[in-house]
Amino acid sequence: MVLLSPPPGAKGAGVNSLHLVIRNALVATASDTFPCDIGIRDGRIALLGAGLPAGDREIDARGRTVTPGGVDAHCHLDQPMDGPARMADDFITGTRSAACGGTTTVIPFAAQAKGQSLAAAVQDYHARAEGKAAVDYAFHLIVSDPTPRVLAQELPALIARGYTSFKVYMTYDDLKLDDGQMLDVLDVARQHGAMAMVHAENADCIAWLTKRLEAAGRTAPRWHAQARPMLVEREATHRAIALSQLVDVPILIVHVSGREAIEQIRWARAQGLQVFAETCPQYLFLTAEDLGIDDSYHGARCICSPPPRDKGNQEVIWNGLADGLFTVFSSDHAPFTYEGEHGKKPGGEEVAFRHIPNGIPGLETRLPLLYSEGVLGGRITLQKFVELTATNPAKAYGLHPGKGTIAVGSDADLVVWDERELVLRNEQLHHAVDYTPYAGMRLKAWPGLTLSRGEVVWDGQSFTGRAGHGRFLPCGQPSLLPRRA
Ligand code: URP
Ligand code: ZN
Ligand code: ZN
């Protein structure tokens, strides 16, 4: 437990007094680890140093590691869906869950439906978030219908207003773009300095394989992985890289699952191309066997796209995290319940894999999993952990240095780590999903305290934040991209 106490001999608040001092922290940034007190005023870090003056309130970190609050740059909350599927987490439950797992900034997606104006999608998404978030949030856009008006007017206007990143899909019938559309959208990213995120899987290969599997009666959840083998990801990754090269614009390939896509990204980097990459916990901790080794429906819980691969590919992903191949580590939290009518059993029925909503929950477990298995497991340094989970996502999407670091002037978004053994259970999580794919895993750490702009939102036992504390963050130009004049 972290002690919250008035400081000895506190004099009361003056205009320049510190509102909160975190004493005896072992501060970790993407570049250094150093012992330090952290002085906070008006929600921002005002002073860093030894022996800071007394604050109105004090927390003794007792030498524990303090990292920047996590920035989860890929999560889905209350995203409008067709049909019976409905996301279990809205901005209330999703951001509460984020806070309890040490994440203090989330970037979900304002998704354009085909035929819809992009501006209308953004307006609708603001209405879904307004007054509900417990931590700060920004929006990526999803561009699914790049009409001439969207390309010439809406997208540039939204980029100028702080929506500086967007995702495009090469698969899913309701979202996918063809190559010509991808080129048009990438060209807008180049002209206006936005970050383009790409979901790289070959839609036609998946459709062809799915038809063949269904014709053979192979419809159980485990066949989802067979319908999306690594080559469909490899081919689309290669094509996305080629399209970005043609347009001469950087891209970020999201949720990279294994060796074949990684080989394409390494090849692109060797050519000097700016290709960034993201991976997610499911590719470190799950395999295709979690989708089932027989025809039972249970594996529907782990259906996501691209699917988890095998142990060998998990090792390749770990290596990519350690050696700089990956820029960001996100959850891709896509929350659907297992039971009920709106999740993995649409209409309450066990259905063929192609009809099972894709995605797994992970907002709350992203940081503890990587800290436990990566940092304490000796696979990545503490600096790499901070870079992947906070600093780089803030830079990639134009939120740094306000977010993603511990520095004077940055928001006081902080995590104090408790290094203790625990066995993960869904009951201890704060999302609205009825399972976690990581149940039963033994972890070595969990956030003991999370602060969002100087407010304690998780005290190690309970959620102590409030819906409405979280603010919308307009994003600046991604600082991983070359500066625009
Ligand atoms: O299966 C996944 N990843 N679902 C979420 C949507 C997406 O493509 O990221
Ligand atoms: Zn995706
Ligand atoms: Zn996603």
Q: Which of 282, 305, 336, 355 to mutate to test the pocket of ligand 1 (most atoms within 8 A of CB)?
A: 305
Residue 454 lies in a domain: yes
Is the pLDDT assigned to residue 484 strictly greater than 70?
no
pLDDT tens digit string along 456-468? 999 999 999 999 9
Ligand nearest to the CA of 108: 3
Structural domain boundaries enclosing 366: 70-393
Looking at the structure, tell me whether residues 381 and 418 fall in a common domain: no
Residue 464 lies in a domain: no
pLDDT tens digit string along 181-225? 999 999 999 999 999 999 999 999 999 999 999 999 999 999 999
Residues with CB under 6 A from ligand 1: 76, 199, 255, 304-305, 332, 334, 358-359
**d(CA 78, ligand 2 centre) in Å:** 16
Which ligand 1 atom lies nearest to the CA of residue 334?
Answer: 5
Is the pLDDT assigned to residue 5 strictly greater than 60?
no
Looking at the structure, tell me whether residues 218 and 206 fall in a common domain: yes
The DSSP result for 212-259, as a single string, is HHHHTT--STTHHHHHS-HHHHHHHHHHHHHHHHHHT--EEE-S--SH
Looking at the structure, tell me whether residues 233 and 309 fall in a common domain: yes
* pLDDT of res. 2: 44
pLDDT tens digit string along 384-406? 999 999 999 999 999 999 999 99
Residue 126 lies in a domain: yes
Looking at the structure, tell me whether residues 154 and 261 fall in a common domain: yes
Percent pLDDT > 70 in the chain is 96
Decide which of 362, 393, 424 is a domain's last residue. Answer: 393
Which ligand 1 atom lies nearest to the CA of residue 254?
Answer: 9
CATH number of domain containing 39: 2.30.40.10
Number of compact structural domains in the chain: 2
pTM of the model: 0.96
* pLDDT of res. 241: 98
Looking at the structure, tell me whether residues 244 and 109 fall in a common domain: yes
Decide which of 393, 415, 448 is a domain's last residue. Answer: 393
56, two tokens: 């109105």
**d(CA 422, ligand 2 centre) in Å:** 31
Residue 76 lies in a domain: yes
Looking at the structure, tell me whether residues 182 and 202 fall in a common domain: yes
Decide which of 341, 370, 393 is a domain's last residue. Answer: 393
* pLDDT of res. 482: 65
Q: Given pLDDT bands bounded at 50, 70 and 90, which one contains residue 7?
A: very low
Looking at the structure, tell me whether residues 81 and 57 fall in a common domain: no
Looking at the structure, tell me whether residues 254 and 238 fall in a common domain: yes
Residue 468 lies in a domain: no
Mean predicted lDDT score pLDDT of the chain: 96
Residue 203 lies in a domain: yes
Question: What mean pLDDT comes out for the span 124-137?
Answer: 98
Looking at the structure, tell me whether residues 175 and 241 fall in a common domain: yes
* pLDDT of res. 393: 98
Residue 484 lies in a domain: no
* pLDDT of res. 292: 98
* pLDDT of res. 124: 98
Q: How far apart are CA 174 and CA 152, in angstroms?
A: 22
* pLDDT of res. 79: 98
Looking at the structure, tell me whether residues 146 and 179 fall in a common domain: yes
Which ligand 1 atom lies nearest to the CA of residue 74?
Answer: 9
Residue 431 lies in a domain: yes
For residues 304 and 358, the answer to whether their CB atoms sit within 8 Å is: yes
Q: Which of 5-9, 136-140, 328-332 has the lowest mean pLDDT?
A: 5-9
For residues 24 and 37, the answer to whether their CB atoms sit within 8 Å is: yes
**d(CA 41, ligand 1 centre) in Å:** 39
For residues 355 and 348, the answer to whether their CB atoms sit within 8 Å is: no
Is the pLDDT assigned to residue 3 strictly greater than 70?
no
pLDDT tens digit string along 270-306? 999 999 999 999 999 999 999 999 999 999 999 999 9
Is the pLDDT assigned to residue 10 strictly greater than 70?
no
* pLDDT of res. 130: 98
* pLDDT of res. 13: 47
Looking at the structure, tell me whether residues 445 and 299 fall in a common domain: no
CATH number of domain containing 131: 3.20.20.140
Looking at the structure, tell me whether residues 220 and 88 fall in a common domain: yes
Q: Name the CA radius of gyration of the chain, rounded.
A: 22
Coil, strand, or helix at residue 450?
A: strand
Question: What mean pLDDT comes out for the span 323-331?
Answer: 98
Is the pLDDT assigned to residue 411 strictly greater than 60?
yes
